[in-house]
Amino acid sequence: MLIGSEKKPKAPSFKKARAIEKDLAGTKLRFMAPPHRDPLSNLNRWEEEPDSLDIFDSKIFQPLEVLDKTGERRIFDSRHVLRAYSSIWEFRGLPLFQGYCGDLVLMIEINALEDLPVNESLFDNRVLAREVYKQFELTKLLDLHRGRSDDPLDITPYRWPSYIGPINCQWLSLQGADWLYLEDQPLLKIEQTINWNIAIDDKRYLTFRFSFTRSARNAGNPYRIEHRVPKDNFLGLMHQIMNSLNLELSPEAAARRAQIQAQPGASDKPLLGCTPEQVKEAKHTLYMWSGRGYQEEGKDRDDDHRANPEDVAAFIDERIKPRPLPNSYPPGELLKLSPQSFIEDTQIVQ
């Protein structure tokens, strides 16, 4: 593609992709990625992580830091994160007229769990799915924002979700390794995230986190942007990267994985999903913000520019439908996890 457009934003050429290799204490990771292309500045630091990382050295990890339901920043002493790779790629539309149409960010992280029971291992798919859900809840489901009412006399301090998920959860086989895949759908913010997760040790798992942001004039909310800038080219670059990936566990990790997977139930492939209550709340939240940053043609600025609530509800119903990807396994049982607050082992950041 020589020139991009809003409907088909131009992605960086994968012909320029180079091999990225990481040694994670004997576990070898290799994939292809184009050189980073930052839309904002060439001064940002990308691809500066070392090629060799000792994932058993706790001193190089950082504790997980998130916002809780009250908006306080909290540090989780039992969950630590180490970034192994980071990059960004700009997507462009028609020169002069459209320009920047969005970007795709890739963060590769090792997640270490310090409080996992001694009789559990992340090589057990049921344990991995549960812990991935906990991380998703802490980073996405507890991301709440101030809501509002159409009634000017209603001063209730509403707290609405910023995302719904997990969506389109599935297990995929890549180069002989099984990955847990899940998406989210933003309800206020524009950024959408897709996570690919795999265990690399009893207490450590690897995450490829792709976050893409789309941009267009007069489309300042997640519902409107869906109708302006398709996600196909963003997803296309993601799949090119993942299809080039090769992960080779260390001999010790590979033997441990085989031992755990031989246990009854450990090789099951449980799925993660959202509840009917979350779906209902998402429909209302997305509808209420469907006029944000948007002005319908023919209406005055002070008019109501929100979408038809039935159209928004239909979008959410369609969005949460399963969409199996190539090399995905048949759907397994839905893991029965109800949203709760995992904030016991935290401290508030001053």
List per-residue pLDDT tens for the chain, 350 residues long. Answer: 556 677 889 889 999 999 999 999 999 999 999 999 888 766 568 999 999 999 999 999 999 988 766 667 888 888 999 999 999 999 988 665 567 899 999 999 999 998 899 999 999 999 999 999 999 999 999 999 999 999 989 999 999 999 999 999 999 999 889 999 999 999 999 899 999 999 999 999 999 999 999 999 999 999 999 999 999 999 999 999 999 999 999 999 999 999 999 999 999 999 999 999 999 999 999 999 999 999 999 999 999 999 999 999 999 999 999 999 999 999 989 987 765 545 544 444 43
DSSP 269: -
CB 307 within 8 A of CB 288: no
Structure tokens, 27: 């576990």
**Paired residues of 27 in beta bridges:** 24
d(CA 88, CA 243): 18
CB 65 within 8 A of CB 54: no
d(CA 140, CA 161): 8
The 3-state DSSP composition of the chain as helix, strand, coil percent (nearest 5) reads: 20, 35, 45
Q: What residue ranges do the domains of the chain occupy?
A: 19-295+303-348
Nearest to 202 by CA among 124, 110, 109, 108: 124
**Helical residues (DSSP H) of 170-245, grouped into ranges:** 222-226, 232-243
Give yes or no for a cis peptide into 166 (omega within 30° of 0): yes
